[in-house]
């Protein structure tokens, strides 16, 4: 069974793939970038903290397990 915390890993995937569908516009500009580029960069940056949260709070993770 998939733990609810593991579903957070789907957020970056959904964010990156939904961007071109909904935000495929040149204007407005955010931080000097077209909005779609900003959207993709934002999800690239946010994916690392999200993956850390998933790893840190995953109950299946064991400290003594060495593969």
Q: What is the pLDDT of residue 23?
A: 78
pLDDT of residue 13: 92
pLDDT tens-place string over residues 21-46:
887 777 888 888 888 888 999 999 99
pLDDT band at 2 (very low <50, low <70, confident <90, very high): low
Q: Name the pTM for this structure.
A: 0.75
Distance CA 13, CA 16 (A): 5
pLDDT value, residue 49 = 95
What's the sign of the alpha-carbon dihedral 39, 41, 42, 43? positive
Beta strands in 1-67 (DSSP E): 29-30, 33-34
pLDDT bin (cut points 50, 70, 90) of residue 1 is: very low
């Amino acid at each position: 069974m998939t733990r609810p915390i593991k579903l957070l890993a789907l957020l970056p995937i959904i964010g990156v793939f939904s961007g071109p569908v909904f935000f495929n516009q040149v204007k407005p500009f955010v931080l000097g970038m077209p909005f779609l580029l900003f959207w993709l960069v934002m999800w690239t940056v946010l994916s690392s903290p999200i993956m850390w949260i998933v790893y840190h709070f995953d109950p299946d993770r064991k400290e003594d397990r060495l593969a």
